[in-house]
Amino acid sequence: MLNEETEDKLRSMKLLGMLGSWNDQRSIPASNDLAFDERFGLIVDAEQLSRDNRRLKRSLTQAKLKVSQACLEGIDYAANRKLDKAVVAQLASCRWIAETQHVTITGETGTGKTYLACALAHQACRKGYRALYRRMPRLFHELTVARADGSYARLLARLAKTHLLVIDDFGVAPLTDQHRQDLLELLDDRYDASSVVIAGQLPPEKWHEYIDDPTLADAICDRVLHRAHKLKLSGPSKRKPASKN
């Protein structure tokens, strides 16, 4: 009866990790050989792990990563990709997010830019940061709709609170005057406050030409490129089927 009451209390307090570990110990006779402090430590560890896993799952769901299974451990470091493992290891610490730095990822189509961007976002979620993935056309569409229905300021505020914003497919479509203004607003909100990963085929040295407005281009580039880790991927497209020969 006492055990049932304890189980009910653990469930009511949502201490499911502790409950599972406690039940495991009760079902394993060898657990009785451990001192009370050791057994209790294992139960607390199980609760902490359970909470960490739930938090990570929730963060990844909210991040809406295009490649949901992307992680740094799955990155291909083939020589022809010219991806420095030491640089990725440095980024894995997420210190760059704590210091509000940025990352740009460029390369030809199919070289794994989206995977790498999502892997960095996944690592950020592991470290306790909030991340959000958006393709650039989708992001502009959301901002346009928000401007029309009066929720523009709220959307910008929500995006600004996200520790890491991933903007994928940068440069795939021409910019309108409104897009330029939206991009500047978005990046200005993040300046000295949060980080951004920008991925696309367009190399940073061509951003000025792409933005096509000298004043806004200066402002946008200044807010990102001066504090960015620049990664350039190469090699054959991973989307092409491997040759059978």
Lowest mean pLDDT among 29-33, 65-69, 195-199, 215-219: 29-33
Which pLDDT belongs to residue 240?
61
What is the pLDDT confidence band of residue 120, given thresholds at 50, 70 and 90? very high
Looking only at Cα atoms, what is the longest distance across the chain? 75
Which pLDDT belongs to residue 242?
47
Distances (CA, A) of 80 to 12, 83, 111, 236, 238: 55, 8, 10, 8, 12
How far apart CA 204 and CA 221 sit, in angstroms, is: 8
Q: How do residues 48-105 score in pLDDT, each as one tens digit?
A: 877 878 888 999 999 999 999 999 999 999 888 889 999 999 999 999 999 999 999 9
Which pLDDT belongs to residue 25?
85
Residue appearing with tokens 């960095």:
120
User: Is residue 188's pLDDT more than 80?
Assistant: yes
Lowest mean pLDDT among 27-36, 147-156, 189-198: 27-36
**Averaged pLDDT for residues 125-144:** 96
| Residues in Cβ contact with 24 at an 8 Å cutoff, skipping those fewer than 6 apart | 31
Tell me 202's DSSP state.
S
Which pLDDT belongs to residue 90?
96
Which pLDDT belongs to residue 1?
53
How far apart CA 199 and CA 149 sit, in angstroms, is: 29
* pTM for the whole structure: 0.83
Using N-to-C axis directions, what is the helix angle for 85-92 and 113-126, rounded to 10°? 30
Which backbone phi and psi does 42 adopt, to 5 degrees? -65, -40
Ranges of each domain in the chain: 2-62, 64-232
Lowest mean pLDDT among 5-14, 118-127, 224-233: 5-14
CATH superfamily of 64-232: P-loop containing nucleotide triphosphate hydrolases (3.40.50.300)
- 152-186: burial string, b at 16+ Cβ within 10 Å, e else: beebbeebbebbbbbbbbbbeeebeeebbebbbbb
How far apart CA 232 and CA 178 sit, in angstroms, is: 29
What is the pLDDT confidence band of residue 227, given thresholds at 50, 70 and 90? very high
How far apart CA 180 and CA 118 sit, in angstroms, is: 25
